[in-house]
Amino acid sequence: MHNDEELLVQTIEKITPDDVETYGGKATNLAHLKLKGFEIPHGFSVSSINFSNMISVVPEIYETLKILQETENFDEMIILVERVQKLIQSYKLPVDLQSEIEDHYYRLKNNRKNSTMGYAVRSSATIEDRPDVSFAGQAESCLCVDGIQDIIDAIKRVWQSIFSSAAVIYLKSKGIPISQVKMAVVVQEMISANISGVMFTANVVNNNTEEILVNATWGWGETLVSGKVIPDTYILKKSPLRVIQKNIGKKQLMSIPSSGIGKVHAILKDTPEDRQNVFALDDTKLFEIAQLGLRVEREMGSPQDIEWCIRSDGRPVILQTRPITTLKFPS
Amino acid sequence: MSLVIWKKNSQDKNRMKRAAEGLISLNLEAEGELRYITSVQEVVQLLREGADGKIVLVDDAGTTFLAPVLSKLTGVVCISGALGSHLAIVTREFEIPALMGTGIENPKDLDRRRVLIRPEGGTSGALFIIE
């Protein structure tokens, strides 16, 4: 199924830019940043080879995907995606893969004993690298997952999510054959975040590459990317770095770790009123985030769409970076 | 794409009532019949009815919800969210404006009304009801 050069699972630090087809854009971009000294969450990537193997060893999945690719009938699509999802759910991981995941999981857990909030299990699909396809929000991310069986179940849930009816329609509308999608999965430590956000190192509204657009909210960024809150918005000029627009958001909800006995999980809680109407970033932190964005942009060679957070000790961490998919310039 | 560019004139201005403000994902105007959508069943219903040229109003910015109709819509209005939300990113890929974080309190009142999304400089935008 795979040769010796292609590892089933790899720690993020060891992934190289040439591995993008194997470990996907998210893992490869994070590895690039790690190599250049940026702070990223520790973790590993389950290669897309495992995803392809699953499709090739379960003929029902392969056959159903072939029909799914051909059909334009929405009702049929719903039936087919449900069938594929059930088949993935009941798929038993090969022993060698299970053992590799266990090794990496326990190594990560032992090396990061202060990480008490479990792990984020997220997609790293190979199509996410295309300059015209973000795949934003199409695949599922599982937060605060812990315990080897839960990690394995979460990996399968991420695989399943690529075949949701919404994701399939997104792919079809972009003209991407379903068979072309290969899904690696990243397992990263959860970061204890006081503030999280998204930053575009170009203003995507007016295509201005001299401006930076930042969204920020309290707690984890899940509320922001899924649009459950109105976060703060900041627009900055790059040179010299200065704020040109600030809009305060309502930030009614925060995604935070649960407290109490047992496994930690992410919960939504009302933001205390005295924090709802206060900017999450003061100017010092905002400039620090913006400068970090500029460094990432320089390193990656193009304007970036970056997910970041600020740890409880005040240090910023890059959770994800990808090229901005929608910049347009006059020809 | 069935984007209608609004032509400013005094007669039109008199017919427009400002309904909400928000952050606009693209510097584009869009006009169409608004549909308030709260479930995937309503998305399917809209798809069957014909989503072409419609503007959809949603509570939050989970993109997966709207995927079946995104390529047919003229615009999107979202009660919550901002420019970094997945919905804003994906609607930009389909070259339609999304007015995010509008905080609309009575979304049902806007259902089936003819509306206009208009950029107002910077990242600001507004939603107008066309009387």
Inter-chain CB proximity B63 and A205 less than 8 Å: no
d(CA A30, CA A284): 25
Min Cα distance A3 → chain B (Å) is 36
Domain-by-domain residue ranges, chain B? 15-130
A108-135 pLDDT, tens digit each = 998 876 667 899 999 888 776 566 666 6
Helices (H) and strands (E) in chain A, counts: 10, 13
B55-66 pLDDT, tens digit each = 999 987 665 678
Give A209's pLDDT tier (boundaries 50, 70, 90).
Answer: very high
The answer to whether the CB of A231 falls within 8 A of the CB of A263 is no
C-alpha closest to that of B100 among A132, A247, A243, A174: A247
Name which of B24, B27, B64 to mutate to probe chain A: the one with the most chain A Cβ atoms within 10 A of its Cβ. B64
Min Cα distance A258 → chain B (Å) is 23
Q: Which residues of B touch A173 (CB under 8 A)?
A: 67, 70-71, 94
Q: Which residues of B touch A247 (CB under 8 A)?
A: 23, 123
Min Cα distance B127 → chain A (Å) is 17
Which comes out higher in pLDDT, residue B63 or A268? A268
Give A228's pLDDT tier (boundaries 50, 70, 90).
Answer: confident
What is the pTM for the complete model shown?
0.85
Give the per-residue pLDDT at B131: 81
Q: Give the mean pLDDT of chain A.
A: 88
**A9-189 CATH choice from 2.60.40.420, 1.10.599.10, 3.30.1490.20, 3.40.50.261:** 3.30.1490.20
Q: Which residues of A touch B57 (CB under 8 A)?
A: none
B9-47 pLDDT, tens digit each = 444 556 889 999 999 999 999 999 999 998 877 888 898
Give the per-residue pLDDT at A4: 45
Domain-by-domain residue ranges, chain A? 9-189, 193-323
Q: How many residues does chain A have?
A: 331
Q: Which residues of A touch B47 (CB under 8 A)?
A: 74
d(CA A67, CA A179): 11
Give residues with Cβ within 8 angstroms of A321, minimum separation 6: A29, A30, A33, A296, A300, A304, A305, A306, A307
For the domain spanning B15-130, the CATH number is: 3.50.30.10
What top-level class would CATH report for the domain A193-323? alpha beta
- Chain centroid to CA A285: 23
- What number is the ipTM of this complex? 0.73
Give A17's pLDDT tier (boundaries 50, 70, 90).
Answer: confident
